[in-house]
Amino acid sequence: MHLRIDEQEIDVPPGTTIKEAAKLAGIKIPGLCDHPDLERYGGCRLCLVEVEGIRGYPSSCTMPVSEGMKVRTNTPALKSLRLNILEMLLSEHPCICLICERSGRCDEVREGMRKVPQTMGCRYCPKDGRCELQEVVTQIGLKKVELCRIGTEKEIIRSPFFDRDPNLCILCGRCVRACADRGLGVISFNFRGFDTVIGTAFEKPLEDVGCRFCGACVDVCPTGALVERANKWSGVAKRVVETICPYCSSNCQIGIEVRDDKILRTRPQGSKLCVRGRFGLEFVSHQRLTRPMILKGERLVEAGWQEAMELVAERLGGYKGRRFAMLLSGVLTNEALRTAKKFSERIMNGRAVAEDTSSDFSLTEIIQGPLLAVGELAETNPATELAIRSTKPVVISPFRTLLAKKASVWLRCRPGEEPQVLEAIAKASVQENTDALGDTGISAEEILKAARLLGKASVVVGPDCNRDVRAAAEKLVRVIGGKLCLVGRNCNSRGVAVLGLDQGYEETMQSLMSGEIKAAYIVGSNPARADPKLAESLSDLEFLVVQDLFLTETAKLADVLLPAASFAEIEGTYTSSDGRMLQLMPALSAISRSDMQIISELCHMMKGRFADDPASLKHGGTKTGTGKGQQSEEGPASGSFILVEGPCLFEFGSGTRTSRVRDLQYLNTDRYVEIHPSDAARHKISNGGPVCIESCGRSIRGLARVSMRVPEGVMRICGRTSKIASAEVRRDV
């Protein structure tokens, strides 16, 4: 499309808006409601333009260009119109600093004024210097506000991770659209006229209306109405370091804002972050280990690096071969994993393993075709789930998840019977004989409908699925000629699989539990927190070395404890699910040595020097099997309920890192038990009331959450500190 904007000729693709075309021409049109990641809105009316042949002043952020269009963006009439609109907007917003003659020259009183409960102006706003309203006022050239102040002061609302100040809200609607874009819609415009505010239904707290605290609303807010609480008054960052989120295998790119060697906040860099990536990096500076520790008597005491490393080298030298095991984690970089593997194999003649399962697939490619999804991806890998949700896949789940709500076919099976449903789909794909499908609790018509949609489909299996589900999914893929996509749990699960470190984990654990292994070296993992039985086996080892950021439950059992650098302090790579090398960049000065540096030095001390070949990761590797995991219990139900203990968005892995983030810890304070309304009424259980669950000889106490998300006869509870490797089904509740 060819058009003219302010006497500039420009060619743009069809569908481009006038504002986008103007930006390409180097012309900036003011606006506060539009955002590149959101649906077009046209609410603030500051981006009005004049178009030859069109009556009135259309909004440039919503109007698409047309061939031969002639646009003017800065006429006297438009300037006057924008000044009046902006003045009316500021009549409901603290604006004294925007038009003050001493603007920017009030530092001597600024810090004291910040302690005032209400924001009085820009100098006393936590978003000073980062506010889009300040930029628009400067661009439009507003010098005074003559309209009287309208409205009353409203109370600031404190939520987990961020504060909501309705006094600074300009009702642009960005946060409402951002929330709707995530498929949640937990906030909207409430009331009318001067009383209009953005809030939740019945003004309930965000945590009670299904908010997932992804921070999308905070990221798009143009003013200080939504501001993250951590480092609220730290101001503008000196630099932004682009790196990779250290949690799940979605590998979202993040920008870490840094000043004075301190993380101020995190922001998305072309990714849609979840609560962990957006607000969950507080652990980086929380009670970190800085010096090695050695067990002397009954206590771990601090020691120097030389003493600790010499002790490790001396003691480990006596446990080579099958008497030694190295337990790794998918949170380590490729460089650390590769070094650890070579140390274990070449120096110790043993094996290095990690509890991670994944396969190679490209998310951008598989969402182009038919999809079948199994597992609670919204809890384990939110960004991956969000991308898959847009394709309306076939979903197998006993729960009404976010993915199930958008599914083309939702196969609501009984908990633990996902493998049977996968087998039924495989049979239906070969022959449309409904008699051979077996009893899955799902109608034969639904199974056949799903089978017809899944020709050459990709089968996506979440990390919370057990080995039976993975095996059944692999069989289905062979039948339909599709692709098996095993989603990894950790940020570098794929790197673990490429190096073959996911093979032999179960056998190694059996050797550890039986006492065959006498010495172990654990890096970046906290198995003692996840499994008390394993903690007992670790405490019985003759020599245990633990390398971690914190004094974890496993670290307390160590003979030697080595402090490691965090992801924000090192340079390295992760491997994405499609095999790309993702660059990890240091944002802070390291307060300890990196995992690779520690293991390399240990190799050198034990006379095992080796050349590190970066190409070995890209071109090497082994075939990834289905792996092993927690099996669901078989047999008929002996209790009145089936209990599913599954993953939780607000926890991750063993909980070592998320337990050190204050608001994540707050969201996990109460353990909620989801129960169907019919079951709740029958047992006289009220929403939010206390419940006690008895299962496997132990009791679990929590608060009831009455929800249609779970089917009748089933209760769901989040696994506390991820004591389970996969979703566990209990039938004696």
User: So where are the chain's domains?
Assistant: 2-74, 115-236, 305-357+494-619, 363-487, 642-730
**Residue 113's pLDDT is what?**
52
What CATH number matches the domain at 363-487, 3.10.150.10, 3.40.50.1110, 3.40.50.300, 3.40.228.10? 3.40.228.10
Q: Is the pLDDT of residue 110 over 60?
A: no
**pLDDT bracket for residue 107 (50, 70, 90):** low
Which of 120-129, 315-324, 659-668 has the weakest average pLDDT?
A: 120-129
CATH topology of domain 2-74: Ubiquitin-like (UB roll) (3.10.20)
Q: Are strands 162-164 and 226-228 parallel, antiparallel or unpaired?
A: antiparallel
**Residue 415's pLDDT is what?**
92
Q: Are 275 and 161 in contact, with CB atoms under 8 Å apart? A: yes
Q: Is the pLDDT of residue 535 over 60?
A: yes
410-456 pLDDT, tens digit per residue, is 999 999 999 999 999 999 988 766 666 677 789 888 999 999 999 99
Describe the strand order of the beta sheet including 483-486 as a list of residue ranges. 409-411, 394-396, 371-374, 458-461, 483-486
Q: Is the pLDDT of residue 626 over 50?
A: no
- What is the mean pLDDT of the segment spanning 1-25? 95
Which of helix, strand or coil describes residue 372? strand
**Residue 685's pLDDT is what?**
93
Q: Is the pLDDT of residue 511 over 80?
A: yes
Which of 27-41, 83-97, 159-173, 586-600 has the weakest average pLDDT?
A: 83-97
**Residue 193's pLDDT is what?**
87
**Residue 152's pLDDT is what?**
77
Residue with tokens 């102006």: 121
**Residue 599's pLDDT is what?**
96
pTM value is 0.89
The overall average pLDDT reported for the chain is: 89
Q: Is the pLDDT of residue 724 over 70?
A: no
The amino acid at residue 504 is G
Q: Are strands 253-259 and 262-268 parallel, antiparallel or unpaired?
A: antiparallel
**Residue 630's pLDDT is what?**
41
What CATH number matches the domain at 115-236, 3.30.70.20, 3.30.420.40, 3.40.50.300, 3.30.830.10? 3.30.70.20
- What is the mean pLDDT of the segment spanning 695-702? 79
Q: Is the pLDDT of residue 635 over 50?
A: no
Report percent pLDDT > 90 for the chain: 76
**Residue 432's pLDDT is what?**
66
665-686 pLDDT, tens digit per residue, is 999 888 889 999 999 999 999 9
Q: Do 363-487 and 642-730 have matching folds?
A: no
46-92 pLDDT, tens digit per residue, is 999 999 999 999 999 999 999 999 999 999 999 999 999 999 999 88
Q: How far apart are CA 360 and CA 539, in angstroms?
A: 37
The Cα-based distances of 376 to 382, 385, 402, 664 in angstroms read 9, 9, 9, 19
Q: Is the pLDDT of residue 191 over 60?
A: yes
Q: Are 66 and 53 in contact, with CB atoms under 8 Å apart? A: no
**Residue 671's pLDDT is what?**
85
Strand-pairing partners, residue 266, are 256
Q: Are 222 and 178 in contact, with CB atoms under 8 Å apart? A: no
Which of helix, strand or coil describes residue 293? strand
**What CATH architecture is 642-730?**
Beta Barrel (2.40)
Q: Is the pLDDT of residue 45 over 50?
A: yes
276-301 pLDDT, tens digit per residue, is 999 999 999 988 999 999 999 989 99
* Residues making up the chain, counted from first to last: 733
Which of 62-66, 91-95, 214-218, 569-573 has the weakest average pLDDT?
A: 91-95
**Residue 436's pLDDT is what?**
62
Which of helix, strand or coil describes residue 352? strand
CATH of domain 305-357+494-619: 3.40.50.740
Q: Is the pLDDT of residue 105 over 70?
A: no
304-319 pLDDT, tens digit per residue, is 999 999 999 999 999 9
The counts of H helices and E strands in the chain are 24, 32
128-161 pLDDT, tens digit per residue, is 889 999 999 999 999 888 887 777 788 899 999 9
Q: Are 129 and 123 in contact, with CB atoms under 8 Å apart? A: no
What distance lies between CA 718 and its chain's CA centroid? 17
Phi, psi values for residue 73, rounded to 5°: -115, -10
Q: What is the largest CA-CA distance in the chain?
A: 89
